[in-house]
Structure 1
């Protein structure tokens, strides 16, 4: 009888002690959850930006040649991934040579107001598959279609027009030794544009820019050199 009474007393004491510790445990859990929620709130903007923007640069192989490409410079959504590709199309602001900002929506009523001078240099990188190198084309193919006359500017830039009826009719060839050769359309209802090519291992780089920029052709040639180095420099 004494044993049973002692057991009942111990059970009541134990139950009372457990209930006494329950309140501090609950309060501690609430405080821990609040602290975790506060830390998560502070860190959440950083996580969101990183997951939305993705990597700043992508390793892309064109013609088995590796390029380190800024993600924001890629013009076509289908090309926005790392790994081997047959071709990629890029654009950079000039003269900063930075990826452009996201395009803004322009309504039909704002088209005329939106027509601004081109401030970008466009670049296409494509596998050449052992086709004729750009510098060889300039030396051996283009001269067959050029007029004999040429114009030499004061800053060392030579201009020769292509013959009418040739495959390059309506264009002019601008060259300067050693670092510039550009085939340019003439100014008309649309601005004249220039095309300059160079080969890097298994890929050909084709730069496009406004003809009007040739008034500062040394800066343009330097910009193409710098872009080539940024995309395919020593790593």
Structure 2
């Protein structure tokens, strides 16, 4: 009997330290859980951030040239991404030059058939060492210009292309101060449209706008220069 009592006492004593060692662990766990809950409660408002839409501008690289493009100006949905691209197509309201809230996914000619155009269309594409726009103006266009005296009005010079040439039914407008060159279709069933090109490092920028805007051609020239300067990231 004495032996049995002794063994039972030893077992009780051996269990006591184990039980007592678990108590601090349980207390510590409870304190840790309470601390995490308190921190979570304090930080909870910061976890409910409102959904963020597209950033105001999207950086794209075209022809190894960096452009910072207003996100809402993209006319083609799949082009609305940052990184290298071969070409992007954009639209800007005129004369504000702000990107439109809703861009119609139509060509400039299609829009001209239905409503007056209130925007300037811009395409940026890698040129891959193709003939520069200013070189084309000096060496290619003169071959197809009609042999008549140019017409100059308010500093803007008009020369027509000959019939049967690659630029038939088009006219060439040029000016020096400010600098502008534009090849424009003539008004037919739809209003005439103009195309003006400039080169920026590895990319060519093509601007399209209604021919009738040339009645205020200086404002158009300034708009083209302003858009190019705003999007091109120098350096």
Q: Would the TM-score normalized by the shorter structure come out above 0.5?
A: yes
Per-residue deviation, 1:55: 1.6
Q: 1:21 aligns to what? A: none
Q: 2:214 aligns to what? A: 214
User: Partners in 1 of 2:81 and 2:56 — Cα distance?
Assistant: 12
- TM-score normalised by L of structure 1: 0.75
RMSD between superposed Cα atoms in Å: 3.1
Q: 1:73 aligns to what? A: 73
Deviating 4+ runs (over 2 angstroms): 150-154
Per-residue deviation, 1:233: 4.5
Q: Which structure 1 segments of 5+ residues have no match? A: 1-28, 106-113
Per-residue deviation, 1:151: 4.1
Per-residue deviation, 1:148: 1.8
Q: Is the 8 A contact 1:150 1:159 kept in 2?
A: no
Per-residue deviation, 1:199: 0.3
User: Partners in 2 of 1:95 and 1:62 — Cα distance?
Assistant: 26
Per-residue CA deviation, residues 127-166 of structure 1 (Å, 9 max, x unaligned), is 0011110000000000000012244343110101100000
Q: 1:123 aligns to what? A: 122
- TM-score normalised by L of structure 2: 0.75
Q: Is the 8 A contact 1:150 1:158 kept in 2?
A: no
User: Partners in 1 of 2:85 and 2:100 — Cα distance?
Assistant: 22
Q: 2:64 aligns to what? A: 64
User: Partners in 2 of 1:58 and 1:151 — Cα distance?
Assistant: 43
Secondary structure in structure 1 of the residue aligned to 2:153: coil
**Pair member with larger Rg:** 2
Q: 1:25 aligns to what? A: none
**Aligned counterparts, 1:12-161, within 5 A:** 39=45, 44=48, 47-48=50-51, 50=52, 53-103=53-103, 115-161=114-160
Q: Which structure 2 segments of 5+ residues have no match? A: 1-36, 106-112
Per-residue deviation, 1:219: 0.3
- The count of corresponding residues between Structure 1 and Structure 2 is 200
User: Partners in 1 of 2:153 and 2:58 — Cα distance?
Assistant: 42
